[in-house]
Amino acid sequence: MAYKYRESTGTFNFFPPVNVVTEDEYGTGAGGHIDYYGVSSCTTVTLLLSDGTALGTHLTFDTPAATVDAIIAQMNQARAGRVVSQLYLVGVLPANGNGWKNTPRYAWPTQIQTFNVAFGRPAGSQVLGYQQAPGIQRDYRAIAAVQASAMAWLSRPKKGNAPVGQPWQNVNLIAL
């Protein structure tokens, strides 16, 4: 289920469908997986919690830093003190724009430390990720492993541009 932040009211509203987290939403996926559709200039931030829950957000390059702060606070509330086993950053990681990445704490690569600390991890904890080229539109699927120690990541061309039956392919994550 996903929750979209409304900057004008400072509130979060529920949006279906299950397992899909779109721009400026945060959510958790049933069955331990989350789909992020249409990542082109965006960054996804995904937490694998100690109980196997996947919790993530999909941020555009123009998302205001205040919105990112509010989403992090809500994700921490949803996390409810559970330990973050692994943190993933996938998408366009360094990017220009008028949003959150122009704020020093979220600039690349400082955002790695910022997210680690924000989610209760030591600043230097390993973060895994994938750097997508800007302007290429991809769908991503993050799937939690049974042991809650890792996630498998899959990708395909953006759903709207993909032929019917376009297969998901493995994403080769690296330590950031």
Question: Which region, left, alpha or beta, applies to residue 40 given φ > 0 means left and ψ of -120 to 50 means alpha?
Answer: alpha
| Nearest by Cα to 173 from 135, 139, 129, 132 | 129
Separate counts of helices (H) and strands (E) for the chain: 2, 12
pLDDT in tens, the chain (176 residues): 566 676 777 777 776 656 888 888 888 877 778 999 889 889 999 999 988 888 999 999 899 999 999 999 999 999 999 999 999 999 999 877 789 999 999 999 999 999 999 999 999 999 999 999 888 889 999 998 766 678 999 999 886 666 566 789 999 999 99
Q: How far apart are CA 56 and CA 26, in angstroms?
A: 5
Number of neighbours of residue 133 by Cβ within 10 angstroms = 8
Q: Strand 33-39 relative to strand 169-170: parallel, antiparallel, unpaired?
A: unpaired
* Domains contained in the chain, CATH given: 2-175 (3.30.1330)
Residue with structure tokens 């555009």?
60
Q: How far apart are CA 136 and CA 122, in angstroms?
A: 32
